[in-house]
Amino acid sequence: MPKKKVVLNFPPQLIDQPITYRLIQKYGLVVNILQARIAPNEWGRMVVELNGNGGNLEAGLNYLAELGVQVEPLAEEIMWLEENCVHCTACVAPCPTHALDVERDTMTVSFDREICIACELCLATCPYQAIEISFD
Amino acid sequence: MAKTIQEINEKIRQGKAVVLTAEEIIEVVKQKGSKRAAAEVDVVTTGTFGPMCSSGAYFNVGHANPRIKMGGGRVTLNEVPAYAGFAAVDLFIGATALAEDDPRNKVFPGKFSYGGGHVIEDLVAGKDVRLTAWTYGTDCYPRRALDTWVRLADLNEAALFNMRNAYQNYNVAVNLSDKVIYTYMGVLQPRMRNANYCTAGQLSPLLNDPFYRTIGVGTRIFLGGAQGLVVSHGTQHNPGVRRTEQGLPRTPAGTLAVMGDLKKMSARYLRGASFTGYGVTLTVGVGIPIPILDEEIMKFVAVSDAEIVAPVVDYSEAYPNCKPGTLAEVTVAQLKSGEVTVNGKKVITAGLSSYVRAREIAQVLKKWIAEGDFLLAEPLAPLPAPESGYAFKPLKERPV
């Protein structure tokens, strides 16, 4: 099944609509919400991973575009520079998905970019410039 | 059967010394008992790799032609100010020094991406560093300004001189307030969402020799990847704190002042570090060999993370305002598990001291000793012990 991580920017007039529900119900997409901020009278922002069969993924993205939701690819990517890392483990506490994690037997830090949601909470915690953010 | 340092050194020279790390010895003592282990093992090596702010380096940069008197003037290395209040071309740079135009915390929290610790790392890595000086002229030192590249290999003497390293035990930092705080113990999330600790635990030098029976003035050590020395007890040395039944301090206690030849060190074990919203520092690798002179010392080095306790301290209110009191006591084993319980709440833990690199340092030191490249030094004088009455005092402010 094709998978895609995207950022959805919702204009304020759309936030009262059950858009995520439609993506699931009408287009059969698996919607994994990685990060979301929706508030009255503001642009909403959601980072989602969309997973769908056949043309459903494309159809779902077209539906969003027609509604006026701006769809962008997830452009930020967290880079773990292993050669700079000293394995102090300071970065693991704020990581919400355990993308940055510790192998407890050896106390070695590892990074799984597949499950990283680029929330950036780790950036301020690394004293050794071993975590960087890159923009596509 | 007691051994002496001379006897152990003889075994090291012959390549016959039995050396284990402070991590490896734990299982050996469990299996064989401390008496047999003490008879069979000669040296146990420790290690630690953590941010240690009271670190710095001094240099003699050599005389320029015509001569310049940097003493009494202003000097920078890669724009970071160095202290020049010595003879003409001797300098000292401290780990936490920042360039004059560093934004610091003007936009909070500041990044502190470069400072004294990074200058030391760059020099040790063999990089060119820009030396700039402005001063007054004299009859014998007429020159007033200097701007040049220098590198470590071209300097005369270069020594790492750290007035406080290898703290015996350390606080676990939490934040009880409602907002994020940025501390020397890292970023602390509000309402105690994380607990940050900084100890090598069972590998930590002074936790393996809690009463300073073998570590003293003149002890030869691993420092920054080379051989160094303990030159004194460190600043804030505070041996008289409360201890566990085994004699382990329950709060920060002893410290060491250490030095060594910077030219022989490696950037792998001396790293500049940036603490968001706080400042810069130097992360230092220290390893200390402990000669197994008798069974008591073997019992001390067999200490494991489950027996070492550290105090949990609030850094939002208690620490900044010097309010005594700890929220809880947790073991290093619990801290390393990734979660501790404080006042009934489960809190995620994160470290600041690298256990991985502490283990590596203990292994390197073990190899040096086993291969006969590193002999133990007899201490010239002991460090102030718990019963000495030596204590760390707060500043008494007096009206001016």
pTM: 0.90
Over residues B254-269, the pLDDT tens digits come to 999 999 999 999 999 9
Q: How confident is the model at residue A42 (pLDDT cuts 50, 70, 90)?
A: confident
pLDDT value of position A91: 97
CB B35 within 8 A of CB B294: no
CA-nearest of B227, B248, B244, B256 to B368 is B227
CB burial of B122-139 (b: ≥16 within 10 Å; e: otherwise) equals bbbeeeebebbbebeeee
- Edge-to-edge order in the sheet of strand A70-73: A30-37, A44-51, A3-10, A70-73
Pick from B49, B193, B351: which is nearest to A90 by CB?
B351
Between chains, do A125 and B349 touch, taking CB under 8 Å as contact?
no
Between chains, do B357 and A86 touch, taking CB under 8 Å as contact?
yes
Between chains, do B337 and A87 touch, taking CB under 8 Å as contact?
no
**Residue B140 amino acid letter:** C
pLDDT value of position A60: 92
Length of chain B: 400
Residue A136: pLDDT above 80? no
- CA–CA separation, A85 vs A132, rounded Å? 12
CB B202 within 8 A of CB B305: yes
> Cα-flanking dihedrals φ and ψ of residue B205, to 5°?
-50, -60
Map tokens 């304020």 to a residue: A12
ipTM of the complex: 0.95
CA-nearest of B231, B211, B233, B236 to B221 is B231
H-assigned helices in chain B? 5-13, 24-32, 34-40, 116-124, 295-301, 332-337, 355-370
Mind spelling out the 3-state secondary structure of B2-31? Answer: CCCHHHHHHHHHCCCCCEEECCHHHHHHHH
Give A124→chain B minimum CA distance, Å: 6
Residue B196 with chain A: CB contacts under 8 Å: 90, 93
- CA–CA separation, B152 vs B122, rounded Å? 9
The gap from C-alpha B265 to its chain's centroid, in whole angstroms, comes to: 15
Q: Write down all domains in chain A, each with its CATH number in brackets.
A: 3-73 (3.30.70.260), 76-135 (3.30.70.20)
Residue A1: pLDDT above 70? no
Over residues B54-72, the pLDDT tens digits come to 999 999 999 999 999 999 9
Instruction: Work out how many CB contacts closer than 8 A connect A with B.
Output: 71
- CA–CA separation, B374 vs B306, rounded Å? 31
Over residues A11-38, the pLDDT tens digits come to 999 888 899 999 999 999 999 988 888 8
Residue A8 has a CB neighbour count (10 Å cut-off) of 22
Between chains, do B351 and A88 touch, taking CB under 8 Å as contact?
yes
Over residues A115-132, the pLDDT tens digits come to 888 888 999 999 999 999
- A34 token code pair: 């990685």
**Residue B286 amino acid letter:** V
First to last CA, chain B: 60
